[in-house]
Homo-oligomer: A and B are copies of this chain.
Amino acid sequence: MMTKSPIAGPIFNQDSSEFFFTHTADEISGEAVDAYIDRLAHAGVGTFVSCGNAMRANYASEVWERDWHGYDPEGSDDQPVLKHIPVEQVRTFRQRLDSAKRLADMGVDFHARAFARCRHHGLGAWMTMRMNDVHGCMDQDSPLLSTFYKGQRAANQLRTQYRDTSWMDRALDWERPEVQEHYFKLVQEQLKRFDFDGLELDWMRFCYHFRPGREMAGGRVITDWMCRVRTACDAAAKSKGHPIMLGVRVPSRPETARKLGLDAVAWAKEGLIDLVVPTPFWATCEFDMPMQEWHRLIGGTKVQLAGGVEIRYQPVPNGPATMMTAELATGAALSVLHGGADQVYLFNYFPSGHGLTKDWGAETIDSVFRAMKDATAMAKLARRHAITYRDIRAPGEPLDNALPGSDLQADMPSPSGCAFRINTGPIPVGRIVELLLEFQQGGIDPSQLRVHVNSQQCAIKQSSDDGVAIYNVPCELMEDESQVVDVIGGGKNAFTIVRVEVSVSAA
């Protein structure tokens, strides 16, 4: 293999639809693509990762159906690919297809243009491929569905045959050779058609690629398939005259990844990949991904490690969720870098599409994204750490969410009370540190609870009627990497905690 170039962070993943959702057919143009990349370059993005597919290609592919396949821009809302879509979504759907088609009709390929603009700004340019995207799979028809997929579905060849209750049950079965070939075609086209620094295989869309129980046997199939991709990348590198790296997005925990047939550690050791990105799926950013463990497991290889930071924040499974604030994103990203990752990897962090500009403001986007290049810069910003849960488990892996937490007496040998461990990155010095606890019950008097951080009781600063209490944490109490919060109530002071955050003021 050729020498690896270091990958510049933060790494920014764009999905296959955002650009087309946020530009009408009238607005779309090659210059609009340039402007899109210009915005990211201005914000300090180090590497742009461009997504070309879900079940279809969003560019004028010659080997896969295009997003606008079977769609007639002049036709009615009742045409086959639209008629199963909820009425209120039809207009948005059509706009996206109109825009994508218009750009292609102009002779502009989004990715080729975006990569050229990345070169202009000195940004890293990567392609990402979603390996089993099932958006739209519950619909009978939709522009999201490929003929290939519908064929697999009609032939009862999807992942789960004995149950059909979730999107995941309707994923393609990667043990099927025709599935492997279907994706390999797209790999070959993209290696030939585009000039990028790296190709990412996004196994996290949607994570489940095999019949339940067949994951580890199936994983060997994926590994063999990836050997072919690696060979194809190396061949393309020769013709392009520069290395072409190979990356993977995989579940946040190494053993979960292995048990899902996505054994990134083995791939790293076998020299198949250059970048591994442990990441949650979607439901929530995961604040305690074991980056230290990943770092150790791929130690001794040349593989780089990036930590996936998602846009959604949901402390309790199925509980209330918000978008990540700038402070929360800073906290999550800092923990990732402090844990040994080489880069922060942003997923679904669109300046416009998901309202980040509205929520954060353009200047905040710039300052946070720019700081994500390195831990020292990040550590100067105001940040907020939280406890969430991991939203991907291998079949049969037990639940392990920390929240909600209550003060039921735990049994020997576990400590009693209600303890949490919260990841916080490097030790802050001379900052204001506060602990936030949100209680499910309105009737709790937080001043009656004993709240400890690393064994020392912390005084309450304020509490509000909506069950949120803030405690002062003397900065000197803070440990490296993580803190233990131990809340003792008991008796009349029974409680259930649904949110735990530690905030650190800016330097």
Q: State whether A400 touches B402 (Cβ < 8 A).
A: no
Nearest chain B residue, comparing its CB with the CB of A399: B400
Task: Determine if A41 is an interface residue (Cβ-Cβ < 8 Å).
Answer: no
Task: Determine if A398 is an interface residue (Cβ-Cβ < 8 Å).
Answer: yes
List A238-294 residues whose CB lies under 8 Å from chain B: 254-255, 258-259, 265, 281-283, 290, 292-293
A393 contacts across to B, CB distance below 8 A: 414
Nearest chain B residue, comparing its CB with the CB of A317: B411
Task: Determine if A21 is an interface residue (Cβ-Cβ < 8 Å).
Answer: no
Q: State whether A214 touches B402 (Cβ < 8 A).
A: no
Q: State whether A163 touches B396 (Cβ < 8 A).
A: no
Copies of this polypeptide in the complex: 2
Known pairs A415-B169, A416-B166; A421 contacts B401 (CB<8 A):
no
Alpha-carbon distance between A397 and B414 when the two chains are bound, in angstroms: 10
**Which stretch, A87-95, A178-186, A365-373, A475-483, touches the partner chain B?**
A475-483
Alpha-carbon distance between A207 and B415 when the two chains are bound, in angstroms: 12
Alpha-carbon distance between A290 and B297 when the two chains are bound, in angstroms: 13
Q: State whether B413 touches A166 (Cβ < 8 A).
A: yes
Alpha-carbon distance between A290 and B290 when the two chains are bound, in angstroms: 15
Known pairs A396-B421, A421-B395; A450 contacts B162 (CB<8 A):
yes
List A453-468 residues whose CB lies under 8 Å from chain B: 453-457
Known pairs A254-B293, A488-B163; A479 contacts B216 (CB<8 A):
yes
A20 contacts across to B, CB distance below 8 A: none
Q: State whether A453 touches B412 (Cβ < 8 A).
A: no
- Chain A contributes a number of interface residues (CB within 8 A of B) equal to 75
Q: State whether A160 touches B455 (Cβ < 8 A).
A: yes
A255 contacts across to B, CB distance below 8 A: 290, 292-293
Most B CB within 10 A of own CB, among A216, A259, A395, A481: A395
Alpha-carbon distance between A450 and B160 when the two chains are bound, in angstroms: 14
Q: State whether A259 touches B455 (Cβ < 8 A).
A: no
A394 contacts across to B, CB distance below 8 A: 421
Given contacts A169-B415, A213-B486, A391-B413, 15 further A-B contacts (CB under 8 A): A160-B455, A162-B488, A163-B486, A206-B413, A212-B454, A212-B486, A213-B452, A213-B454, A214-B454, A255-B292, A255-B293, A282-B413, A396-B402, A396-B421, A396-B485
Cross-chain pairs A/B with CB under 8 angstroms, 29 sampled:
A160-B415, A162-B486, A163-B416, A163-B486, A206-B413, A208-B415, A212-B484, A213-B455, A213-B486, A214-B479, A216-B480, A255-B292, A258-B292, A265-B296, A293-B297, A296-B297, A300-B300, A392-B413, A393-B414, A395-B415, A395-B419, A395-B421, A396-B402, A396-B482, A396-B484, A396-B486, A397-B421, A398-B402, A399-B400
Across the A-B interface, give the 7 residue pairs with the lowest CB-CB distance, nearest first.
Answer: A213-B454, A396-B421, A213-B484, A400-B400, A398-B402, A211-B455, A396-B419
